Amino acid sequence: MENLNLPQIINLIAMTYFATASLYILFFALAAYAYRRQPHAAIPELKSVWVLIPAYKEDNVIVETVTSALKHFSKYCSFDVGVVADSLKPETLEALRNTKVKIIQASFEKSTKTKSINLALAQNTELYDWVVLLDADNIMAPGFLDNIAVHMAHGKLIVQGQRTAKNNNTPFAMLDGISEAVNNSIFRKGHSAVGLSTALIGSGFACEYAIFKQIMLNIQAIGGFDKELELELLSRKIRIAYAPDAIIYDEKIQQSEAFFNQRRRWISSQFIFLFKNIGKGINQLLTHSNIDYFDKLFQYALPPRVLSLGLPLLFASTSVLLHILFPQYVSINYFVAWFSIFIATSAAIVLSIPRRYFTTDLFSALLALPLAFLLMLKALLKAKGANKTFIHTQHGIR
């Protein structure tokens, strides 16, 4: 190490970081191919379910979502639909009152999803077996609740459904849908295949009602409530199951500005929960053999996929240029190493993209990748403080 100068040391640290991230996602991308669906148990017992939908200024989509949810058919679940109506327009509230939905009206000085959920849980007087959480734009595919019920019949306490793109009408919507599908493969199928907990996301999941209420009462997150919920579950060694047949349609980001705001919020909450809990994660691993908890924090330390692709390629290209200009200082091995990381990351992502995305529209999405890369860099640089205020992603905007 004494022969290395500072730039070389920095390069080696960055290379190790990105190589570790690349090998991690490649391993689970390959593991996803070994995933086997849960065999059916005996016919699930009839369960009561509360389908809860927090809706903050979601006048464009909430009526459609509620109408679809009320029409959902389930053999194994009797269910009610509840909407937390936060800052909805009077005409939207009137339309909702003409349905059979349970309305919980909210008015917060500073709204958050956590506050909406906890208000609904505090006001509810019904006894439910599970709660299913949806976003205001989510549509349950036919059989969603029954597929969840099959997994719950195996004794699962929380089950994440498969969120799938509802739209691919713009290049950014296409990229967002592909990103979701890649995450489903790597962090859900791949993890389930090797016996680890699947990744939770903010909607499209079912949880035993009593556990959900107990944990949510202690959550105060402004952004990233699902990350705090996930860590609390894993700290109690409650493993999250994955139900790929339980499909939930989710509206994808359509414009670059919304993409930037959403990713900025995600990056901020990811690093906040990483640094806040890293000590606990090491303790959970060493003293409680809690691999799931430690693995989750390891995921939070991974770079976003767009940066995992773009930065190694950028560094590889820069290495070639520097080698040409200063061959005595910069070895061609730098290019080989960085380009190998780029290839491994690319392979993991390509292996994780469902076949349905390999259409002519994919080319338009690829053309948007350079802009997405720049926006992710900007989001990373401006992530500080994004988790201190609620950044709302409005849906139904074409």
Q: What is the pLDDT of residues 87-103, one digit of tens each?
A: 999 999 999 999 999 99
* C-alpha dist (Å) from residue 136 to 57, 251, 395: 10, 10, 8
How would DSSP label each residue in 93-132? Answer: HHHHHTTT-EEEEE--SS--HHHHHHHHHHH--S--SEEE
**pLDDT attached to residue 394:** 62
In a domain, 362, yes or no: yes
The chain-wide mean pLDDT, for the chain, equals 91
In a domain, 398, yes or no: no
Residue-wise burial string across 34-66, b where 16 or more C-beta atoms lie within 10 A, e elsewhere = ebeebeeeeebeebebbbbbbbbbbbbbbbebb
In a domain, 240, yes or no: yes
Length of the chain: 398
In a domain, 13, yes or no: yes
pLDDT digits (tens, 9 = 90+) for 214-258: 999 989 878 788 999 999 999 999 999 999 999 999 999 888 888
Q: Is the pLDDT of residue 42 over 70?
A: no
Q: Nearest CA to 232 among 265, 197, 192, 258?
A: 197
Q: In terms of residue numbers, what domain contains 239?
A: 1-38+154-387
Q: Is the pLDDT of residue 392 over 60?
A: no
Q: Residues with Cβ < 8 Å from 143, sequence gap 6 or more?
A: 245, 246, 247
In a domain, 134, yes or no: no
Q: d(Cα 240, Cα 205) in Å, to the nearest integer? A: 10
In a domain, 97, yes or no: no
Q: Nearest CA to 168 among 353, 357, 351?
A: 357
In a domain, 194, yes or no: yes
Domain count, the chain: 1
